[in-house]
Structure 1
Amino acid sequence: MPTVSPGPSRPSEPEPHQLRQMAESFGADPERYDRTRPRYPDALVRRVVDAGPGPDLLDVGCGTGIAARQFAAAGCRVLGVEPDVRLADFARRGGTEAEVATFEAWDPAGRTFDLVVAGQAWHWVDPVAGAAKAAQVLRPGGLLALFWHVFQLPAEVAEDFAAVYRRAMPDAPVNLQPTRQGLDGYQALLTKATDGIRESAGFGESEQWRIEWERSYTRDEWLVQLPTHGILTRLPPAKLAQVLEGVGAVIDALGGSFTLPYTTVAVTARRTGTA
């Protein structure tokens, strides 16, 4: 859940899946990550499970096992693939079977699945190679479901948050403009996922599902999860402290809390063919 959405990259910026050090940095504090990252709406989990032909599910970029545990509770048999060994170890301790590899390089060893999902993770996967691998491991009629939490910061804090980030990280390899928030800012990411699915030639037409919800954050609740965001996980302690102090001051000026509207958006496609 980045503080600002990935949005379109500037010409000099790498694509998210090329930022391997950032992609594999979330294990710096897996307990904090697991404790503070938002869960997925039950309605989304139920819809994905109901749309699949069976219970065998592969969770790509499973992290600490947040989505995996939700799908297991809904009746799925879950295997996770995670490039960060620290996150994979944490997921295993929580009951999720997890193998350490990037999805593109992962060896399925002949195993196939009814569902392949990725929560907050597919932008770290090459969209074309990832879709081809998903088509390889999905059974005919199986479902690929890629989903993200998208949020729109309140207008009164969007520019102030972005200003804090720009002061602390003027050379950050992502776009920090507040206008790149909400579904409009994520559209480039969703388009890349959709284009990758289409190029793989293993799926029918993709769909987008959207579920809206909201969550209120106190100052402390927002600051405790902020270090788990991708653009902050590798920040030097002094710079991180600068960000936390600045963001905290913005929230203090709002009265100590704010409400964040979310949309969880999924790109889904069904595996075609008979083998």
Structure 2
Amino acid sequence: MPTLPPERAPLPEHQPHEQRQLAESFGSDAERYDRARPRYPDALIDRIATGSPCRDIKDVLDVGCGTGIVARQFLAAGCGVLGVEPDARMAEPARRLGVEVDVATFESWDPHGREFDAVVAGQAWHWIDPVAGAAKAARVLRPGGRLAAFWNVFRLPPDVAEAVAEVYRRVLPDAPFDLQGMTKQPLDGYQALFTKAADGIREGGGFSDPEQWRFDWEWHCTREAWLDQMSTHGAVTRLPPDRTAQVLESVGAAVDALGGSFTMRYATVAVTATRTGAARPDAV
């Protein structure tokens, strides 16, 4: 369930779902990813699990399940879950922790006639073709089932954000991501992502008009927890080890200077729609 880094808007021929090298960089340390990445609000899981217009959710398909963070939350809510994950390195800890996983990209995955009450994607839908993904979801959802793609969007406190941005300016002066985005409203940068997901759902067919949900929450973040999570971000996973160590050491020193911990504000945003009509006949 990789996070889209705060990169400059990609050119049309380099959409996120086409950046396989970045998407597959997260499996380099799957155990850290599972340990460090935040979970999702119980209110979101409960709303999906009990909010179908026709039924409580029993069968969930977790797209881009990664190490099974989302899948385990739905298992705990009493749902049956199947994950689809293209990186076998990420799927391995998910399986070890009790999640059934098919290793495949969602676009090429064969459901073998299986149907689901919900198709969910936590921190992963931007790695999937938004139209083909929505059409595939319509194909495998039962009538009244829900498609829900959601993201955790964090906002660093201003002093922490500026300290982190300064480290990147100094250590990675040619970094291909927008440092200004760290100190501005992060939801503004994600809104294009939400819009693209909603447009894909409309074009894929077979769904009600998409809606957007938002859940705000906070997390007290220690120096160690933040460095652990930073190590799983796309801006860091592709760095050579010496540059990674330099970034983390510098950010750690900056957080120490600010007191050694801070409160992170999160907004978890979902783009969601209900399966209504027939799936497109060309859905794959």
1:157 aligns with 2:157: no
Q: Spell out, residue by residue over 1:104-159, the C-alpha distance to the aligned partner (whole angstroms, 9 max, x if none).
A: 11111111111000001111111111111111111111100111101111112223
Q: Which amino acid is the alignment partner of residue 24 of structure 1?
A: E
**Equivalence for 1:254:** 258
Considering only aligned residues, what root-mean-square deviation do their CA atoms show, in Å? 2.1
Corresponding pairs, count: 275
5+ residue gaps in structure 2? 280-284
Q: Spell out, residue by residue over 1:23-77, the C-alpha distance to the aligned partner (whole angstroms, 9 max, x if none).
A: 1121111111111111111111000001233311000010111110110111111
CA distance in 2, matches of 1:242, 1:12: 33
Q: Is the 8 A contact 1:5 1:186 kept in 2?
A: no
1:112 aligns with 2:115: yes
Q: How do residues 3-152 of structure 1 correspond to structure 2 at under 5 angstroms? A: 6=6, 9=9, 11=11, 14-52=14-52, 53=55, 54-152=57-155
CA distance in 1, matches of 2:37, 2:10: 28
Using structure 1 for the length normalisation, give the TM-score: 0.93
Post-superposition shift, 1:262? 0.5
Post-superposition shift, 1:10? 5.1
SS of the residue 1:47 aligns to: helix
Post-superposition shift, 1:179? 4.7
Identity %: 67
SS of the residue 1:228 aligns to: coil
**Equivalence for 1:206:** 210
Q: Is the 8 A contact 1:68 1:96 kept in 2?
A: yes
Q: Is the 8 A contact 2:64 2:124 kept in 1?
A: yes
SS of the residue 2:235 aligns to: coil
The partner residue of 2:237 within 224, 233, 236 is 233
Q: Is the 8 A contact 1:9 1:175 kept in 2?
A: no
Post-superposition shift, 1:199? 0.9
| Compared CA separation, residues 29 and 224, structure 1 to 2 (3 A) | same
Post-superposition shift, 1:163? 2.7
Q: Which amino acid is the alignment partner of residue 42 of structure 1?
A: D
CA distance in 1, matches of 2:122, 2:98: 18
CA distance in 2, matches of 1:159, 1:12: 30
Using structure 2 for the length normalisation, give the TM-score: 0.90
CA distance in 2, matches of 1:22, 1:201: 29
Post-superposition shift, 1:11? 4.3
Post-superposition shift, 1:201? 1.6
CA distance in 2, matches of 1:100, 1:266: 25
Post-superposition shift, 1:252? 1.5
Q: Which amino acid is the alignment partner of residue 233 of structure 2?
A: H
- Of stretches 74-83 and 219-228 in structure 1, the one that deviates more from structure 2 is 219-228
1:265 aligns with 2:269: yes
- Of stretches 190-199 and 5-14 in structure 1, the one that deviates more from structure 2 is 5-14
Post-superposition shift, 1:189? 0.8
Q: Which amino acid is the alignment partner of residue 20 of structure 1?
A: R
1:219 aligns with 2:188: no
SS of the residue 1:235 aligns to: coil
